[in-house]
Chain A
């Protein structure tokens, strides 16, 4: 009898340890699928359905949870995923408040985390954090370059009264520094405001050559509507946060001619064949549209997918160091991700270094314009 119990115990232990040795890779997704940024969250989430079920011959499990845009919820999800699901890496969060809350948690537990919004963080402090989104400065530089090429002297700015508006304005000022472009006005609005007429009236008193807008998603079209009502004739620039079909739907004729930077993925079908990103972007978007329909097309899914690609690139080295679920695996995974070079994603080409955990360059940006009510790639 005792022998049989001992036998069962031994078998369990062996099987248990065997299981540990061959444990699956677990990737946790923390996204804002509901809440104020729900419009983007759905795209980030859908991409998970298109991710590979295996990496380097190892089965991968994805766990996706919704934080509703609430940083406190995001933190508790992160802790739970670390303690109970033993995740090897995080994809997301993708909003600034939530990712700022989750990064310290991931750092403390030494779990790689790939965030998906332009975040300015110290890579030497948050050594486990990576970012797949184009830095705002990189994006806005495209706008400023366009302004310079067209002899613009004065710019009026209307943006969100939050960190996003600040980022766009900072990018604008940084890009304009050293040139003869001056930002003549800084107006702010909230995405729930019933009217931005006053801000537009104020900005126009400065008679700016062009207007730069710093809102995101569909409410980002509000200033354009008010500008059109005031018959503003100058060029209107917007930022990468508004480039979606829904923006044109809301803005209608008022946003015709608006110029904005965006990732190449958004206009994948208009890219010249010479574009290095085209193949990956086209493959991803074709599968995405097949799965979710043409109406679902968006830029955000690509960031999730690129996050997965960066993790995947680190997996082979990590497997040599230890089994998934162990600290050795996660440490090596981070090291591997930090040395990713020339990785072609859907949004650009990633070259990570210990000093740069984003690694994107100008190939991650194209300029687009609303022409005949759709986004057209600018030559």
Chain B
């Protein structure tokens, strides 16, 4: 292996690692605020990519109707509260109209991309409302089982909504730069850029805004947060929406590199999960670094021995879990 190949592998690994990083952050966010291990996150990756692919093909994406059905269902669940009903229906209605217009006019790709992220992001709190909220006092294990069930439902629905074919979406940029002897693809730079901007935005939000602090507070001490008047439900819905949106963005970033089918998301999400677990399901910075490591290890393992690449990546968990089991406090029931 020469330097050029090493640099190319590093570029490839960091690109996929950056995508895993986004997923790891979303997973942590949801877990810390709601104690739900967000297994369906990978499905949101696929939904995001397939929603955009469907819009670019000139169709109204089927996810939009799914969103509307879920919105009506969750509005019915909280029919007593006018606020609850309007919060359930309002955003769904707005994005439905915007999407219908955008598809009709064949608007700019980036606008359609933003709508695809928006639709997917709105779907996530609905999933929380319908599947997890009724069980919010249940044990971690129960929530995990429900998360698994939601994943299977979403895969099944994905097949119905998008069909079995894989889809690709256009790259954010087809430009290519030469740096030394290495070609750097414009899309890789976009992935890195999106990742940096998003991490910076999240950092700012968590540390400089009241909402961000409230999210951290709900994660840090749920009882304390309630006593500050921070509504657990609202925080959970926001955490889900953010994770759903992040996952959809990750989908748009992956789909130009590798075609996505309705069931492609799970394994991609799993890699993000590995990173989150290496971070002890508690630390954003450790998870972020771990995600990049997972991406790079995957690239080099695929080069050296492609038949065992997946096994090598998953084997990263073993030392991480051993280390965690020695030194971490238990994150069981509060």
A195 close to B299 (CB less than 8 A): yes
Q: Which of A23-31, A38-46, A71-79, A121-129 contacts B (4 or more CB under 8 A)?
A: A38-46
Chain A residue numbers with a CB within 8 Å of B8 are 197, 201
Please tell me if the beta carbons of A198 and B267 are within 8 angstroms of each other in the complex: no
Report A220-254 CB contacts with B as 1/0, cut-off 8 Å.
01100100010000000000000000100110100
Name which residue of chain B comes closest to A205, CB basis: B5
Residue of B nearest to A35 (CB): B263
Please name 25 pairs of A and B residues whose Cβ atoms are closer than 8 Å in the assembled complex, sorted by A.
A189-B309, A190-B267, A194-B16, A194-B19, A194-B258, A194-B268, A195-B12, A195-B257, A196-B302, A197-B8, A197-B12, A198-B12, A198-B299, A199-B302, A201-B8, A202-B302, A202-B306, A205-B1, A217-B166, A218-B166, A218-B261, A222-B259, A246-B165, A246-B166, A250-B167
Interface size for B (C-beta < 8 A) is 38
B285 proximal to A (CB < 8 A): no
B226-240 vs A, Cβ < 8 Å mask (1 yes, 0 no): 000000000000000
> Nearest 3 pairs between A and B by C-beta?
A38-B164, A198-B302, A218-B166
- Decide if B303 touches A201 in the complex (CB within 8 Å): yes
Interface 1/0 per residue, A100-125 and B, CB below 8 Å: 00000000000000000000000000
In the complex, are the beta carbons of B259 and A221 less than 8 A apart?
yes
Question: Cα distance A199–B12 when bound, in Å?
Answer: 11
Closest B residue to A41 using CB positions = B164
Q: Is the interface of B mostly helix, strand, loop or mixed?
A: helix
Give per-residue flags for A180-208: 1 if the beta carbon is below 8 A from chain B beta carbons, else 0.
Answer: 00000001111011111111011001000
Any A CB within 8 A of the CB of B224? no
A193 touches B258 (CB 8 A): yes
A contact residues around B252 at 8 Å (CB): none
**Cβ-neighbour of A161 out of B264, B300, B307 (below 8 A):** B307
B-side contacts of A199, CB under 8 Å? 302-303, 306
Contacts of A351 in B (CB 8 A): none
Q: B223 — which chain A residues lie within 8 A by C-beta?
A: none
Give residues 283-304 of B contacting A (CB, 8 Å): 298-304
A34 within 8 A of B: yes
User: What secondary structure prevails in chain A residues at the interface with B?
Assistant: helix
Minimum CB–CB distance for B165 against chain A, Å: 5
Cα-based distance from A246 to B53 in the complex (angstroms): 13
Tell me whether B168 and A250 are in contact (CB under 8 A).
Answer: yes
CB nearest to B263 among chain A residues? A36
The one of A38, A197, A198, A250 in contact with B159, judged by C-beta atoms closer than 8 angstroms, is A38
- Kindly state whether residue A322 has any CB partner on chain B within 8 Å: no
- From B261, B271, B302, name the one whose CB has the most chain A CB atoms within 10 angstroms: B302
Q: Which residue of B lies closest to A246 (CB)?
A: B165
Interface residues of B in 118-166 (CB under 8 A from A): 156, 159, 164-166
B306 x A188 contact (CB < 8 A): yes
A201 to B5, CA, bound (A): 7
Interface contact tally, CB-CB below 8 A: 96
B310 at the interface (CB under 8 A from A): yes
Residue with the greatest number of chain A CB neighbours at <10 A, chosen from B8, B156, B257, B267? B257
Does any Cβ of A come within 8 Å of B51's Cβ? no
Q: Does B254 contact A (CB under 8 A)?
A: yes
Chain A CB within 8 A of B96 CB: no
Chain A interface size band reads 20 to 34
A219 close to chain B: CB less than 8 A: yes
How far is A42 from B164 in the complex, measured between Cα atoms in Å?
A: 9
Further contacts, 16 of them, CB under 8 A, given A197-B12, A205-B5: A39-B164, A42-B164, A187-B306, A188-B306, A189-B309, A192-B266, A194-B19, A194-B257, A194-B268, A195-B298, A197-B8, A198-B301, A201-B303, A218-B165, A218-B259, A219-B258
**B12, B19, B268: the one within 8 Å of A192 (CB):** B268
Q: How far is the CA of A225 from the CA of B15 in the complex (A)?
A: 16
Report Cα–Cα, A192/B306, bound state, in Å.
Answer: 14
* Complex CA distance for A187 and B307, rounded to whole angstroms: 7
Query: CB distance A198 to B307 under 8 Å?
Result: no
Which A residues lie within 8 Å of B185 (CB)? 229
Interface residue B9 (Cβ < 8 Å from any Cβ of A): yes
Contact B258 A198 (CB under 8 A): no
B165 touches A195 (CB 8 A): no
Central interface residue in A41, A190, A198, by most chain B CB within 10 Å: A198
What's the Cα separation between A38 and B261 when bound, in Å? Answer: 10
Which chain B positions have C-beta within 8 A of A194?
16, 19, 254, 257-258, 268, 271
Smallest CB separation, A373 vs chain B (Å) = 14
Residue among A161, A194, A199, A219 having the largest count of chain B Cβ atoms under 10 Å: A194
Q: Across the interface, name the chain B residue whose C-beta is closest to A218.
A: B166
Task: Report whether B259 and A201 are in contact in the complex, using a CB–CB cutoff of 8 Å.
Answer: no
Which of chain A's residues have a CB closer than 8 A to the CB of B271? 194
Measured CB to CB, the closest approach of chain A to B189, in angstroms, equals 14
Chain B residues within an 8 Å CB radius of A218: 165-166, 259, 261
Q: Which residues of B contact A229 (CB under 8 A)?
A: 185
